[in-house]
Structure 1
């Protein structure tokens, strides 16, 4: 492994780790492009999933109290998502994943662009258990189909007037659980080859350190700023996803 390859892996790990530490999602969108330049798609995704889970565990510790304070809300999202994951995997036989990703990219761009330009932020204060469950279920399906489990929950949670810790107490464990299951499925398919693990030895410490920087910033931003950050990241994620699928 030469220095250039090591630098590319480290750059992807740093970008993915930082954004996960800051927002609780986005490792795949920000790191996968780097890894795909060196690894076959299955191995690149396997590496991203590994980093997503490990950096996500650090984020879970930061909002552990918020998770314990309202576990029922988290399970409204997570329970249906676990049901949706195998349905998404089965749907790979029938759905054009590239077209699906373009549709999701369009939603992220419209949502993120519209609310980024508004002075007032969206706000739903009343309990919405049915919508929460539906969003979680669809997130699970998208996770199984296209590794995009966080797209819909992020858009929905950024519309709630929850404090940043409560928002992250839904998004972080949701993504960690869904992506852990996905990583397990890839492991059973033999995706974690010796080459992938060699790259992981470089990527893991870089991602963990970068995530700590993101977490430090997360602790300092006000709740409203964090809500705007999530909306802005939806827009940026849509751009990245669109470029990746078109080019």
Structure 2
């Protein structure tokens, strides 16, 4: 492994780990570009998925009490999400993934621009179990078809007037479960070869440290500040997807 390869892997792990520690999502958006410079696409996605789950476990731990307090809330996102993953994978044979990612990116950019710069954030407070389930299902579909499982849930959760810990108690474990499913499928496809394992030896310690820094920033944010961070990250995620597709 060359010095430049190690550098790109560490940069990706730093960027993805910090964002995951801060918000509970976004690892792929901020890390994948660095990994694709030195790894083939399957290996890069395999590393991102593994790192997302691994560094995400730290975030799950800090909101464990909120998860235990509202297990039914989390379940109505996760269970439909798991059902959506196979459908998303099946859609890959019928729909070009790049086009689907651009459609998602357009929604993210419009949403982020509309809400990101408003003085007052929206607050959709009434219980919506069926909408939550549909959002989880859509997240699973987009996760299987375009590797953007957190995009739709992040949009929805950013307008819920929950505390930052309550929001993270849904978003972080949701992404972890969906991406664990992705890891299992990639493993069966042989994606975790010796090259991928060597890359993980570099990215794991770097990502874990960067995630701790992100978590420290998360702890300092107010509930409103965290919601605004999610909306701005939604905009950045949309722009990042467009740039990835155009430059790739």
Q: Shared topology, TM-score over 0.5?
A: yes
- SS of the equivalent of 2:162 reads coil
> Matched residues in 2 for 1:80 and 1:240: separation?
27
CA distance in 2, matches of 1:99, 1:189: 24
* Cα distance in 2 between the residues matched to 1:143 and 1:196: 21
CA distance in structure 2 between the aligned counterparts of 1:68 and 1:17, rounded to whole angstroms: 25
CA shift digits 1:62-119 (9 cap, x unpaired): 0000000001000110010011111111111001111111111111100011111211
Instruction: Quote the residue 1:236 is aligned against.
Output: 236
Superposed displacement of residue 127, structure 1: 0.1
In 1: Cα distance, 2:111 partner to 2:243 partner: 17
Counterpart of 2:34 in structure 1 is: 34
Question: Cα distance, 1:184 vs. partner?
Answer: 0.6
Provide the residue aligned with 1:120 in structure 2: 120
- Which runs of structure 2 are paired with 1:48-87 in the superposition (5 Å)? 48-87=48-87
Aligned counterparts of 2:68 and 2:10: Cα–Cα separation in 1 = 34
Q: Deviations over 1:39-84 (max 9, x none)?
A: 1100100000010000010100000000000010001100100111
SS state at 2:216 partner:
helix
Query: What are the within-5 Å matches in structure 2 for residues 6-21 of structure 1?
Result: 6-21=6-21
1:94 matched to 2:94? The reply is yes
Structure 1 position 220, deviation (Å): 1.0
1:133 matched to which residue of 2?
Answer: 133
Aligned counterpart, 2:214: 214
Where does residue 170 of structure 2 map in the other structure? 170
Indicate the residue corresponding to 1:203 in structure 2.
203
Structure 2 residue matching 1:127: 3-state secondary structure: coil
Gaps of 5+ in 1: none
CA distance in 2, matches of 1:155, 1:116: 11
Unaligned runs of 5+ in 2: none
What is the distance in 2 between the residues matched to 1:48 and 1:173? Answer: 16
Q: TM-score, normalised by structure 2?
A: 0.99
Question: In structure 2, how many angstroms separate the alpha carbons of the residues matched to 1:229 and 1:14?
Answer: 18
1:144 aligns with 144
Cα distance in 2 between the residues matched to 1:89 and 1:101: 14
Equivalent residue, structure 1, for 2:186: 186
2: distance between equivalents of 1:59 and 1:34?
Answer: 23
The alignment yields a C-alpha RMSD, in angstroms, of: 0.6
**TM-score w.r.t. length of structure 1:** 0.99
